[in-house]
Amino acid sequence: MATDSRTWFYTTPEPRPYFIEERVNHTLWKNRLANIHMVCTQPEPPIRMEGRWQNEMPVHFEWQPGRYFILRTGQESKEIIGVMRQILMMRPSFAYQDTDGMYVVEWYTDDGATRWRELQGNPQYQALRRLKSG
């Protein structure tokens, strides 16, 4: 199956978990992110997926097609962040640690200014940093 982010991020995929899983997993594997398998937990926007990388680190995806993508991982992984940057064809907007101890990176097709204002000064989000100017 030839698939990339245009089939599930830049267009709204059919709200069928299996189809979303197939498209996302094949995109990850095609971009050399092996040892990961994501399961769709919510097929309607915002779409959510959960999985584990290398059988141990939790990985969560959430996205609103064409608007934003949120990656949550058990620890910072430059490899996953780099692959998602390539897949989404844009630089991440910002990163932080949430109240569950997950490392979070968010991408926005606009400048993400509204979300940035929501995060700033909120003690729930630790080590907040902007990754691209907006």
Q: Tell me, rounded to whole angstroms, the distance of Cα 102 from its chain centroid.
A: 13
Number of domain units in the chain:
1
Q: What is the pLDDT of residues 67-107, one digit of tens each?
A: 999 999 999 999 999 999 999 999 999 999 999 999 999 99
The radius of gyration of the chain from alpha carbons, rounded to an integer in Å, stands at: 14
Q: Are strands 57-64 and 68-73 parallel, antiparallel or unpaired?
A: antiparallel
> What pLDDT, on a 0 to 100 scale, did the predictor assign at position 50?
98
What pTM does this model have?
0.94
Residue 118 has pLDDT above 70, yes or no: yes
Which residue shows structure tokens 């969560």? 60
Q: What is the pLDDT of residues 21-41, one digit of tens each?
A: 999 999 999 999 989 999 999
Residue range of the domain that includes 80: 5-130
